[in-house]
Every structure is written in C-alpha cells, then in structure tokens.
Structure 1
Amino acid sequence: MTGPAQRATLPTVPRQRVRAGGAGAPEAPGRRKVRFATVGAVLAGVAVLLLGYLRMARATPTNSDASANALQAWDMLHGDVLLHGWTLSDVSFYTTELIQYALIEVFYGLDQDVVHVASATTYLLLIVFAALVAKGDATGRAAWARVAVVVATLLVPQPHGGWAIVLYAPDHTGTAVPLLLAWLLVDRRSATPLRRWWPVGVLVVLALAQVADPLAMFVGAVPLALVSAARLVRARTWRGADAHLLVAAVGSMALAHGLLALIWRAGGFSVHSPVARFSPTDQLGDHVVTAVTATAHNYGAYLPTLDGPVALAAGIVNLALLLLAVAAFAATVARFFRSGDGDRVAEVLAAAILVNLAAFIVSTQAGDMGSARQIVTVLPFGAVLAGRLWGERLLAAGPVAKRLMAAACVVLVVAFGTQAAAAEPEPPEAHAVAEYLVAHDLRYGLGSYWGSNNITVASGGKVRVAPVIGPDIRSFRWESDADWYDAAAHDARFLVVDLKHARYGTVEAALAQFGPPVERHDFGRWALLVYDHNLLVGLPAQCGGLAAATHTHCPPLAPKVPGAGLLEK
C-alpha cells in the first residue's frame, strides 16, 4: 500500500490525458468530421425546406393586404420609418414582418415575390425556433428526438388552404416567431451572456410582438402572467424567476401601448381597432366544431379536403401528430395541478393554447376555414409541447413502433416533395391590369381595394393605384397613405373596378359619380375606366365606420392598447 510520502512523489498526470475524450481533451478527427457532416446536413435540409416552401407560397396569388405591407416596408426603407400618414389594418406587423419585408426589398426591390420569399422565410424561422424551444436543455439523441417531433409536425401543411394561412400574407403565423424567441429566453435564462438582464429581454420581445400584433397579448403576455402568478401562489413567495416573469409580462403590455402612443404622437402610422366581439351563446357549439376543424386544418390533418394517396397518408400522419400534441397538452395541464415542479415553458405554452382556443370559441372570429389563421399559433406551440414531453419517450419505443415512425417520416418527406413539385406559381391579382397600365403610360389612378396595392407592387411602383371602397366610390382609410388622395399633389386619371365584389364600388356607381369614361377595357374580373379629368377632386372618404367629405376630413385614429376591444360585447 502506498503511503502519504510516496503518493506525494508520484508525477502529476495532465487532466486531459487522464480524462481521455473529456472536456479538456482535443477533439478527435473522426468526431470533428461527424460534427461537420451533421452541420452540413442540417444546412442542406434548411435550404431544401426554404425552396420547397417558396414554391408552395408562390402557388397562392398575392393580394392587396400583402402588397400594402410591401409598400409600407418600401417607405420605411426609403426613410419614412414611422410611416407618416399611413393608416394600417387592425394589425400593424410593424416590428416583425415589415422589418423582414424591408430587408428582403434591399435585394429584391419592390416586387411581388417579396411577399412569397417573406412567407417561406417566416415559416422556416417558425420551424427553427420551435425546434430550439422543444430541444430545451436536452442533448444527444434526446435532443434530436425532440427536434424531430417538431419538424415532423410542421413539415407538411394542408395543401392550398393551409398554404393560404401559413405561407401567405402576414396574418398571425409570423407572430409565433418572436413569442418562441421569448420562450427560448425563459428556458435558457441561466445560459444567456447577460444572465441578470434576461427578464428585460423577455419584456422587450413580448412588447415588440404586441406592437406588431395585438394577438400576441393573448397568446404571449397573458399566458405568461397567468402561469407566473399561479406558480408564485403555489410556492407562497413573490420572489425568484416567476416574479421577474410576471413583471415582464405585465410590463410588456404597458411598453407596447407606450410605443404605439409615441409613434402616433410623432405623426406615425395609425391602426384600427380589432373587429371581434363576443358571440351569442347559442353559437358556441358551432364554434367548438369550427375550432376543432380549424386546428386539424392548421396541422395538415383535415382529411376531407385531401386528394390522392400520398396527401391522405400524410394527413393521417399529421392527425397522429396532432393527437400527440393534444396528449402533451393534457399531460402538462394535469401535471400543473398535480405537482409544483412542472416545466415552466410547457405550462406557458399550454396556457397560450387554452387562451387562444377559448377566445376563438367565444368570439365572432370563428367563421369558415379562413378563420383558422386566428388560432394558427396552436400549431407551433402544440408541436413544441409534443417534442418536450414525448421526444425521449419515443426513443424507448419498441421495434414495431420504431418501424411505424420511420414509415411515417418517409410518408411526410415524400408528401413534402410532392407538394413542392406540384405547386404552380400563380400571378398576383389584377396583374394583367398592371401590365396594361405600364404599357400605356397610365401612372396614377384609383382602384377597388383588392386590386389597388397589388397593381402598384406588380408594376414595381411604376403605377400608383390608391384603394377605394363602395358602394359609391370613396377613398379607403385601410392599408393606405393619406397623401395618395391629395388632389393638389396627384392626378388620378383611371379607375379599376372589381366586378366580383360590389362592396368595393361598381361601374354604375363610377358612371354616376365621375361620368362616362373616355375608354373602357375589361380584364376578366377587372374593368379599367380611363378618364380625362382628375378623379381625386371632390372624392369622398370612408374613414373606418365613418364617412367624410374628403380624406383630409377623416378624424384621427388614437392609439389603441394592444388587445383592447378584441373581445367586446
């Protein structure tokens, strides 16, 4: 047996040699090659996904909502950062998609494809951030299993109708990206470089999300506040991470309102109040059915609209993934009420899903399948829940279950490739009118809303078409700039009439209001009336629910608290 004196004379062995393969050891060449190969495979997969989603996005024609966002980003890129004179819709997208559009326009210019590139990029970012939040602190095979659940759940959207929600104009899908970033900060607060400032980061990210979309208050700030308060009550303390998060959640609402007020007082853009109201109680049953079918639609699992064996097989796999998310939601809620050591991020995600679905059911927003966009955040949040709760457990599945999962992955990959290959690009609405106007040097005019901003973007800004609404022709204070209706600054010599939607004006109304045109040209759904006088002179205005003599007589829109009025009686 070696004595103390003898042990003291033994040579010291460097730690990195004793712990072969440990943290202090140099990385083996074989392991380094595997790591580079993994990174390369992930980047290649990301590139394939981006190209596939871009093809799907291009299969849905752009309209004036998305084109208005492109025009707003164009103005921001050219110095009008606060969008002076602009009246937006009830969702500004100012701190999310508009910045994204502006960055894309640096390379693309003012082009209709900006909308498609942004949509594909947004959905890809949604997958990436959802995968990161699902991964959590897991490593190795467990981390890959969690990520795989998320990617599988989001990989194949519902064809056509699903593309119009997750791969179309900005409409709540992109709102989930900053919220997932906030949950990532919550989950990895101890690993961030600025550990003491992570609650401030959560507050700022949530506030910016609410400036862009009032829905972020209901599916972001409110769930975080509810979960944090409940955890504090359960722990019988008002200190710690949950206290910081409660302050961040409440503070984000105040900061968002303050930012909107500052922008408005500085002469920047205005936004309309959301139009949702509480629904009559006798409609709640139908709304529950709509919520279920809309959720299945968002998950790519609404089987009645799927055609072909590949699409149907992918729909069945997506349905199984939806049920996996439902089980994860139920397990999270049960654990929340059963014990006090639950997964904080999972609890916030479950609360967000519950609030989103409940608000949808009790409101007038529950309509047809198009209203599925109102609960689209349930898709990534549910995918993250499923990944965090079931990822590791799927690794322990038996051989039969693993073969089924492998077959399901093959089905999803084939379905993704089939959808992307079959997607055919569609031209934007009223593109033929835009081409005619450019060719005949008609540069300024009015147009029914759904063709107006679209023509402007489709022409690359060579033509300006200010949107109007009917039944008599009025300027439209919705996704428009007040300067467009200034008769002293502009000479509008044509009117584009939407023959499909009379509420945006009719040819008969135009003849009664402006007289007979000197020329008329028809392009299917669209009629082009060319005049020899300025149509802006004496043009009445529609200011939201109010009418005015001209656009300059519209009363100003005061800034709204994010989420205020979203569910009014």
Structure 2
Amino acid sequence: MSVPVIIRRARWVVGAAVAVGLFFAYLLMSRAVGMNSDGASNAIQAWDMLHGNVLLSGWTVTDVSFYTNELLLFALVETVYGYHDDTTHAVAALVFTLLVLVVAAAAKGRATGREAAVKVAVAVAIVAVPALGFAAVTQLTSPDHTGTAIPLLLIWLLVERAADRRWLPYAVAALLAWAQIADPLVMYIGVLPLLAVSAWRLLRNRTDRRTDIALLIAGPASIVLAQIALFAIRLGGGFGAHAAEAKLSTFSDLGHHLWLAARVMSVNFGAYFPDREGPAGAAMAAIHLLGLLATLAAVAIAAARTLRAPSDRMVELLTVGILVNLGAFVVSALPTDLLSARQVVAILPLGAVLVARIFGPPLAAAGHKITAALAVLLMLLAGELIAHATFQGVRGHAVDVAQWLDDRGLSYGIGEYWNANNVTVLTGGRVQVAPVVAGPPIASYRWESKEDWYDPAKHDARFLVVDTRNPSTRTEATARSQFGDPVERHEFDGAVVLVYAHNLLRGLPAYCVPETAPTPAACPDHGLVLF
C-alpha cells in the first residue's frame, strides 16, 4: 500500500472519529438543555410516517413542514434507536453533526494541502461549538431552520463542482424544490441569491453565459416544482400547512429590530455574554465574537469584490444569502425576542463557510505561526465543547408531569402547547397529550397536531396540563369555568395537572389559526400555501 493511500485512509479514520465525538458531545448538550414540544412534534410525525401515514394525513404542521429534510432523519433515527424520550436529542445531535461536516466540505472547496486545512479549521472553529443557553436552545432542541443550511450548502457545492454539466440546472431545480418543501426559507436564502448572482454574472460576463442562463431558469422552476409537490400532497390527503406571516415592521420598529438582530446574531455565534459565567466564559464569548465580526467583515469584502467583478460563485451565493436573511429579519414583523434567533440561524453556517473562503487563503499563506495559532484555537474550542457536554443540566420541563401521568395510568388528555407533545414523547407514547390554546375558551390547537386527536368518539381525555410558568396565566380559572371543578389537582414545577371525571373533548371548540370553529372538523381547509 502506497504512502498517499495510507495518508488518505488515516484522514478518513480521523475524520470519522471527530464526527463521532462531535455527535456524542451534541447529544449530551441536547440532553442538558431538555426537550420542547416543537422537536417532540416532529418525532411524533416521523413515527406516524413509519407506521403507514407517509403523507401525514390529518396533520397540520406549522409554516415549516421539515417533511423532506429533518423528518426523514427523525424516521431514520426512530428506525434504529426507537421512539422515546431521547429521540429528539439524538436527531438534534445528528443534524448539527451533519451541519458541521457539510460546512467543512463547503469551506474546503477545491483547495488542497495547507490551504484546505486552514479553511476547514476556520469554518469549524466558527460553527462547531454552540454555547449553552439561548444558542443551544436554538440549535440543539428542535429543527427550526438549523438543518436547512445542509441541503443548501450541498446544492451550492454541486453548482461549484458541476458548473459546466448540462444536467446541472435540472438537478438544481429539483434539489431546491426538495429543500423548499421542507422549509420555505430556502426560497429566500437559496432561490433569491441564485437569481441575483446569476443575473449579475450574466450582466458582467459577455463570454460564457450558458450556466448563468440555465441557473436563472432553474431558480423559478424550483418554486414551481415545490408548489406542485405541495399541491399533490394536499390532493392526496396529506398534511396541511399554515402560511408564513409576511408582515413588514413599522418604520419606528426598525431601530429595535437592528438591535435585536445584533443580539440574536451574537446568540447564534456563541458570543452572547449574558449566557456566560465567570472570566473563562467571558473569554470564550469574546473568541466567538471574533467569528461574528469576521463574518460581517467577510460579507463586506465579498460584496465589494462582487460589485467590481464576479469571481467565486460560492462566495457570491453565500454573501447574498446572508444579506437577504438578515435584511428580511430586520424589516419583518416576526422578530420579538432572543428566541427569534432561529429566524437567522442559517447565517452561522453560511458565515462560517464565507469566512473560510475569504480569509482562508491569506491565512494559509501567512506561514506556520498562523497554523499554530489555529491549532491552539481549536484546542480551546475542543475544551469548551467538552465542558458543555459534561455540564449537568437541570431536568427538562414537564418530565415530572410525564412520569406522574404514566405512573397513574392516565393515558389521554389535553395540555397547553408547551405541555403536550413533549409529554407524549417523554413517555414513548404511553401518555398522549393533545395540544390546546389557553383561551378563553380553551380550544383544540390546529398547530403540530392531528385532527382525530380531538375526536371524542375515539379518545377519552381525562386531564388538562396547565402551564404555570407565566405568573399572569388564567388558564386554570378558565378550565374551572369551562369544564367545572376537577376531581384532582396536582401541582408540579411550572405546571398543574387537573384531573376530571368526564371527557374534556366533548364540546371542545377549535382554534384553527387564525379562525375559530365549533370543532376541529369544522375548521376551513388549508388549501394550498403558495409562499
């Protein structure tokens, strides 16, 4: 066996070992953060798909289906690992591990030798260590756009590697459509950048124009294909989806949104200082802040270069994607608090690749001192990741509720959204809690739920789980007014369980979002969500 072959195989072994180590570190971090109802909803959907309901008939998802992306990973994990309280953590770890690997591949590009190593090191240093706190909640508890960058970066790699192939536009249109079915955000951070970059390159390039023309056609074609696929799913009785809210903020809110954008970006990049404790935590936040600042600098440099003359298509696609995502965040009415970090979480992996592409070559040419500095940085980040992975988090919300219900044999009930699907998954489905809104009146919730969950002829709901983490909540008073006094009341940390002697589904109204109806069956049909 030749020396080059031995070196290549050794690299594969080391890479595989690193990937496995990252997976288990993320798994431990996800467990420390706990599970929420968003991730649990996806686990239940995938389990339903594995048991024959491939199109998710009767289901209403959110404005993001995750159908062709994360739900497939959930189904894979459940096939191998099962359906239980650790399922969502395993999928979150798998998604983030795949994200880091794809970021590394996109950062490397066609580079070899020291330049390839430096590019990969820079990108991994930025993306691979989520901070405990808001960052881990955003990136390691449920899909929520975190994994959307995986298919997007793979598509950009395909565009880079196969720019001269005749089949490229067909593949790009099909793959972008596949990604849009899972997450409409791809239309904004994927299709729009493809159109803008291709149009600009076509305008400035007077010789080789075939690829740009083909990609200009592939972008809109992907939107049409995605809508046809979603229409076919609805026509076949599959899941319904809500339309994403497309509302612009007022001019007076722009300043607040800019400040919130800065804060959520610092959250995603691990540079949010309030999430850190002690001098060591502040020092690591400062290191992560360098990654955020480098991303902003890379965007500025790449934009200036692109305006002068098109060069690296990958760099241009990343730059426009970041600017579109950040700009949409600022001008929309969606941002509310730090949990809005999920709306711009894709900027983290896109930015990591962009920084590696812009600063990697000059850093590699700077000599061994820079390489040594990067090695030290990676060692610090590895230590931080180990510290995060070994952190003993508090028990997740509603774990005690799920255990008590399971022990008591109370197998069916209703609960406010953040006390519903998570309880179902925590018990491996032995206890099912259908989500409701607090009202008044308390009503079934057509959001990450299935219509027949609320059918009193099929189910006998004998308890209500009330969320008491908000001091101003009046849900328990509403429940007593609507359902009468319970036969039992049990108080937990952040929740109260009210047990009844009658079926709470009888006469339960429906909140269809935004409409209301007497029953879930009376909710208007979803129809086709175009954008």
TM norm. shorter chain > 0.5: yes
> Who is 2:526 aligned against?
557
**1:479 aligned residue (439, 448, 457):** 448
Equivalenced residues, count: 530
Sequence identity, in percent? 46
Name the amino acid aligned to 2:401: V
Measure the CA separation in 2 of the matches of 1:387 and 1:400. Answer: 18
**1:421 aligned residue (368, 384, 390):** 390
Name the amino acid aligned to 1:397: A
Structure 2 counterpart SS, 1:536: coil
The alpha-carbon distance between structure 1 residues 403 and 440, as it changes in their structure 2 partners (threshold 3 A), is closer
> Who is 2:411 aligned against?
443
Q: Could you report, residue by residue, the CA deviation over 1:469-499 in whole angstroms, capped at 9, with x for unpaired residues?
A: 1222211111110001111122222222222
**Where does 1:212-361 land on structure 2 (aligned, <5 Å)?**
212-236=182-206, 239-340=209-310, 342-361=311-330
Tell me whether 1:144 sits opposite 2:112 in the alignment. Answer: no
The alpha-carbon distance between structure 1 residues 507 and 293, as it changes in their structure 2 partners (threshold 3 A), is closer
Measure the CA separation in 1 of the matches of 2:374 and 2:425. Answer: 45
Name the amino acid aligned to 1:90: D
**1:171 aligned residue (144, 147, 167):** 144
**Where does 1:39-54 land on structure 2 (aligned, <5 Å)?**
39-54=12-27
Measure the CA separation in 1 of the matches of 2:473 and 2:183. Answer: 26
**2:426 aligned residue (458, 462, 466):** 458
Measure the CA separation in 2 of the matches of 1:263 and 1:307. Answer: 48
Measure the CA separation in 2 of the matches of 1:539 and 1:38. Answer: 60
Shift of 1:196: 3.1
> Who is 2:153 aligned against?
180
Measure the CA separation in 2 of the matches of 1:554 and 1:326. Answer: 46
**Where does 1:365-384 land on structure 2 (aligned, <5 Å)?**
365-384=334-353
The alpha-carbon distance between structure 1 residues 455 and 505, as it changes in their structure 2 partners (threshold 3 A), is farther
Larger radius of gyration between Structure 1 and Structure 2: 1
Query: Contact 2:122/2:374 (CA < 8 Å) preserved in 1?
Result: no
Query: Contact 1:473/1:505 (CA < 8 Å) preserved in 2?
Result: no
Query: Contact 1:328/1:386 (CA < 8 Å) preserved in 2?
Result: yes
The alpha-carbon distance between structure 1 residues 489 and 144, as it changes in their structure 2 partners (threshold 3 A), is same
Name the amino acid aligned to 1:316: A
Measure the CA separation in 2 of the matches of 1:229 and 1:188. Answer: 20
Shift of 1:169: 0.9
> Who is 2:401 aligned against?
433
> Who is 1:204 aligned against?
174
Measure the CA separation in 2 of the matches of 1:259 and 1:143. Answer: 39
**Superposition RMSD in Å:** 2.0
The alpha-carbon distance between structure 1 residues 329 and 231, as it changes in their structure 2 partners (threshold 3 A), is same
Query: Contact 1:186/1:202 (CA < 8 Å) preserved in 2?
Result: yes
Shift of 1:45: 1.2
Query: Contact 1:156/1:416 (CA < 8 Å) preserved in 2?
Result: yes
> Who is 2:478 aligned against?
509
> Higher mean Cα deviation, 88-97 or 38-47?
38-47
Measure the CA separation in 1 of the matches of 2:221 and 2:492. Answer: 52
Measure the CA separation in 2 of the matches of 1:248 and 1:438. Answer: 52
Measure the CA separation in 1 of the matches of 2:303 and 2:126. Answer: 21
Measure the CA separation in 1 of the matches of 2:457 and 2:378. Answer: 62
Structure 2 counterpart SS, 1:162: helix
Measure the CA separation in 1 of the matches of 2:414 and 2:244. Answer: 26
Measure the CA separation in 2 of the matches of 1:390 and 1:495. Answer: 55
TM-score by length of 2: 0.95
Q: Could you report, residue by residue, the CA deviation over 1:9-57 in whole angstroms, capped at 9, with x for unpaired residues?
A: xxxxxxxxxxxxxxxxxx63x3333333222221111111111111111
Shift of 1:405: 3.4
- Any gaps of 5 or more consecutive residues in structure 1? 1-26, 565-569
Shift of 1:67: 1.0
> Who is 1:33 aligned against?
6
Shift of 1:181: 1.0
Query: Contact 1:470/1:503 (CA < 8 Å) preserved in 2?
Result: no
